[in-house]
Amino acid sequence: MKTLHFSVQDYDLKKTLESGQTFHWEQVSGHSWEGMISGQWVRLSQAQHDRITARGVNGMGQVKGDIIRYLQLDVDIQSVIKCFPDDALMNAAVRARKGLRLLRQDPWICLASFLLSSNKRIPQIMEIVRHMSIRLGEQLIHPETGRQLHAFPGPESIAKSHESVLRECKAGYRAKYLYKCASLVASGEYCLDAIHVLELDEARSKLMELPGVGAKIADCVLLFAYGFSRAFPIDVWVQKVLGDYYFKGATNTPRELGALVQDYFGDHAGFAQQYLFDYIRHLKPAEWAGWVAEGHTGRSS
């Protein structure tokens, strides 16, 4: 077994891995998670606030750069936070979710995961991912316990399967979209690598050409896989934040939402979104009602 040590500042591994960006990590202790990076089993741990360790099999040195990239350990998060709007809710989210970071995931895994996430809670999504990995993913052996591990299946594996198999993995109606997307990617008809070189709006439109991919899923993939820091996924939680707080309950149009996201949240809108998303979903309904009822004005007019 090989172990790598990474010195970190303002990095909370638990908050990051459990913030709804990824559904592929299994918590094995109070401060350790197991998953796959670059197709290799890795145990990530943070027993001390200023250090993250990565444990894996021989050849860990070859994936060191992949771990740094996946965890975005080279990002100066304080410089990012300084770009956030200065309002009461944003500041509260930053304080409460201190150490939260964005990940840089494999585009296919990220795309497939969010296709499976529609109308599902995080534990349910993780269950679908687990079933699919066992049924169709590459088998690996846990280097310590000897138990079988399964990587998430690539597009080729899914394309060679059948939509009915995906439904047996509890994917439901999402199975048809995942199967069609996998077939397009596996055949080479659709190239995920081409997204990297596009501008944000063009990249979003290109992803939305895929079956089942709307603006929210596209922005999740752009933010969590491709590193488009202005991508701003809007789900029910974020819609509530924008409508109740920033628009003060007033009706808003998609154009007004877009203007708010780009003009108010700026170059690191996606980072700000993740702090707000993770903050509000941890609030009790009465706590959020308090934010609204107390008359916090949000952005300046």
d(CA 274, CA 278): 6
Same domain? 162 vs 202:
yes
**Nearest Cα residue to 257 out of 212, 215, 214, 196:** 215
Same domain? 64 vs 116:
no
Q: Given this model, what pLDDT does residue 151 score? A: 93
**Overall pTM > 0.75:** yes
- Burial class (CB within 10 angstroms; exposed 0-12, middle 13-18, buried 19+) of 9: exposed
* Residue with the larger pLDDT of the pair 132 and 63: 132
- From 191, 224, 257, give the residue that closes a domain: 224
Query: What is the sign of the dihedral through the CA atoms of 149, 155, 161 and 164?
Result: positive
The pLDDT of 51-56, averaged and rounded, is 94
Q: Identify the weakest region by mean pLDDT among 95-99, 241-245, 254-258, 278-282.
A: 254-258
Same domain? 47 vs 88:
no
Where residue 142 sits, what CATH number does that domain have? 1.10.340.30
Tokens representing 272 are 């700000």
pLDDT band per the 50, 70, 90 thresholds, residue 39 = confident
- From 167, 201, 224, give the residue that closes a domain: 224
Packing angle between helix 269-280 and helix 215-224, nearest 10 degrees?
110
d(CA 47, CA 41): 19
Q: Are 163 and 155 in contact (CB under 8 A)?
A: no
Q: What amino acid occupies position 106? A: D
Same domain? 129 vs 174:
yes
Where residue 31 sits, what CATH number does that domain have? 3.30.310.40
Same domain? 93 vs 147:
no
The domain of 121 spans 107-224
Same domain? 119 vs 182:
yes
Q: Are 246 and 272 in contact (CB under 8 A)?
A: no
Same domain? 115 vs 93:
no
Q: For residue range 116-127, list pLDDT tens digits in order.
A: 998 888 999 999
Residue 156 CB neighbours (<10 A): 13
d(CA 281, CA 85): 20
Tokens representing 73 are 């350990």
Same domain? 159 vs 17:
no
Q: For residue range 61-85, list pLDDT tens digits in order.
A: 778 999 999 999 999 999 999 999 9
Same domain? 234 vs 86:
yes
- From 224, 247, 262, give the residue that closes a domain: 224
Domain count, the chain: 3
Same domain? 112 vs 220:
yes
Same domain? 272 vs 289:
yes
d(CA 112, CA 235): 17
Q: What amino acid occupies position 50? A: D
Residue 296 has pLDDT above 90, yes or no: no
Q: Are 153 and 185 in contact (CB under 8 A)?
A: no
